[in-house]
Amino acid sequence: MKKLFLLVFLLFISILLVINCKPSSQNTPGPVSQAPSGSGEAAILVKQVSAIFGTIPEKMPGADKDTEELVRLGEKLYFDKRLSDKDSQSCNTCHMVDNKKGGVDNLPTSPGAHGKNGKRNSPTVLNAGFQFVQFWDGRAATLEEQAKGPMLNPVEMAMTDDKKLVKKVSKIAEYKDLFKKAFPSDKKPFTFDHITMAIAAFERTLKTSDRFDEFMKGKYNALSADEQKGANMFITTGCITCHAGPLLGGSMYQKIGVFKPYKNTKDLGRYEVTKEEADKFIFKVPMLRNIAITAPYYHDGQIKTMEEAVKDMGSLQLGKDMTDGDITSIVAFFKSLTDKSRI
């Protein structure tokens, strides 16, 4: 009798589990009609990834205050090489956003106005305004503050000081009307702060949209079975320890080389900003949105492929030897993170 009761009880529990695993119109995002076979597993994965990551917000912080005139001015400034010492470099030179580029120049490190390369890889500007800080070492808190750096950096755009830059821009006839419209209440619209405010306003429009967000909104067939497997592998392997949130990164600092030292021990990372011993080899965790089009990788640009990056990260950060199958799955998932307009 006890055995019969146990069998009936187990059957009852099994039925409940099957019912709970089925997506319903009440608790599953998006139209169920779009769900392919295996949508039960997809619905469960959607709940997991939505809780861990979440979709990219509609607007970047501060965008509500940006006017069309300010964004228009910022876009022109972003592409203008005259903001550099030799009229050879623009923001877009190192952070290319035209021609379906990923907000980078795809070089290990970038050459500046005088031909010398910087020591760090140029990170993507796409979605940058959602990050908690800017630059690999976090030395800028905002997009406006970040924009000031390269223009006055002697290795990058190499303008000797902000006054020289403002004077140069104010003499360009086409900017007179643009600055006046962007800053109508200012008697002196040409200032260094206004230049960086405008560039930041344009950068706040560089929000991307990809298939992973579509998947989290309930379009289950937005990701292939391999990509869904990769998303699950990304979670279970432990990558989400650092790469969580809507950007899959960009929200914290972490040491590179948690389990073993990274080969490049010359760049001390955030230590160069704080001079605190604990900050040696600490860097901002890069966001993984659009990773498939932003190679090469790491702060020094020495990792050429996603496969190499995944394998290396497993070893350095998680103390794991990633199998070829694991790497292939995670890389497949990464490809779903590319902005649809840049494919």
276 noted as active-site residue: no
Q: Yes or no: say if 176 and 102 are a contact pair by the CB < 8 Å rule.
A: no
- Report the alpha-carbon distance of residue 112 to residue 117 in Å, rounded: 6
Q: Yes or no: say if 307 and 66 are a contact pair by the CB < 8 Å rule.
A: no
Q: Which residue has the tokens 């917000």?
A: 57
Which residues make Cβ contacts (< 8 Å) with residue 224, sequence separation at least 6? Answer: 332
Q: Which residue has the tokens 């965790």?
A: 285
- Report the alpha-carbon distance of residue 186 to residue 203 in Å, rounded: 23
36: tokens are 């392919």
Please name which of 153, 91, 84, 76 lies closest in space to residue 122, comparing C-alpha atoms: 91
Please name which of 171, 331, 3 lies closest in space to residue 322, comparing C-alpha atoms: 331
Q: What is the dihedral of CA 157, 121, 134, 124, to 10 degrees?
A: 90
Quick one: which H or E segment has residue 253?
Answer: strand 253-255
**CA of 87: how far to CAs of 83, 93, 319, in Å?**
7, 11, 47
The DSSP result for 118-133, as a single string, is PSS-----TTGGGSSS
Looking from the CA of 202 toward its CB, the CA atoms found within 13 Å total: 24
Rounded to 5°, the CA angle 47-207-222 comes to: 40
Catalytic residue among 75, 156, 203, 227: 156
Q: Yes or no: say if 313 and 264 are a contact pair by the CB < 8 Å rule.
A: no
Q: Which residues are catalytic?
A: 156
